[in-house]
Structure 1
């Protein structure tokens, strides 16, 4: 059922084709590298797979806009974690994943959304998804720009560690990318 919903999202937003799967695969590798228990690794995979599910209700004119978003359009985009949380919370099997989806755009420095959580108050799985999601988004072509080269995307993650991203997770992710030649 989840995979079907992801396919619907990719149909609605073709620029994210493969994004959810990429984020899920890489996020679970990070969780594994961190030595998390198997159950946490599984939760990381599934939460990452559905992290953008709330975008299903974001108008495609906003999702696929070629130019810069207006402030009003960005406010609409910022609601996708809330929508995703609402969708997933209706299922007892998916309720825990809903929490991780809700917080995947929080920032280490507290300037994220929707709750403005900071540091370790952000659920660990959400912090992992935040790093990997940013990586995959930077590396992918979008309507408004071409994907960034690997070196520039890595540099962006490193520069924003301790501000936007959990610095330990960035360190682990960067070493994973470099050691395994991912990207």
Structure 2
């Protein structure tokens, strides 16, 4: 039977939309967060000059980066206040859970390693694998910065949103630690272009 490429494309985006809506229903904070992170990640990719196919892959991976939180208990996900050690360990499982979910789809499995690594740190102190520097996929390094920008400048149950000046300084202070120093500096050099993406959507 002949395959309809157009139908596959429609189904592909419907799958992504259904998955992210399910996560939004579970965790109110994520409503809009994944979209903003994916939009920023795409802007960073375009400014850096990545190939179209790589931009598309990173854009989708960013949209799905937190999908593993579906497997995190509600009491942990929606807790007001600081997580204890046991709760934090449960939360840290979400990249692995997300990668496992994506591995089940022939359309999405190429993004699973990016999703798995989006909480790795450039200095090797991240999770779940403790990867360092360029061992971390470039898509995950881009998403890590965009994720932090949106998280810092959003209201959370345990704190008010920080302003963009504070966020800029935090990114700058953590170049080579949490963030890729080259990609991070590129983000800082194009700061207004990148944050305009989420200012519009809020």
Identify the TM-score tier after normalising by the shorter chain. over 0.9
CA change 1:180–1:135 in 2 (3 A) is closer
Structure 2: gaps (5+ residues): 1-14
User: What is the TM-score with the length of structure 2 in the denominator?
Assistant: 0.88
C-alpha distance in structure 2 between counterparts of 1:28 and 1:99, whole Å: 18
Larger radius of gyration between Structure 1 and Structure 2: 2
The equivalent of 1:139 in structure 2 is 153
SS at match of 1:152: helix
Q: Name the Cα RMSD after superposition.
A: 1.1
Q: Which runs of 4+ in 1 moved over 3 A?
A: none
CA change 1:55–1:179 in 2 (3 A) is closer
The equivalent of 1:10 in structure 2 is 24
- Count matched residues: 183
SS at match of 1:143: coil
Deviations 1:62-87 (A, max 9, x none): 11111110011110000000000000
Deviations 1:63-119 (A, max 9, x none): 111111001111000000000000001112111100100000000000000100000
Corresponding residue to 1:171 among 174, 185, 201: 185
CA change 1:175–1:84 in 2 (3 A) is same
Q: Does residue 74 in structure 1 map to residue 88 in structure 2?
A: yes
How far apart are 1:178 and its partner, in Å? 2.5
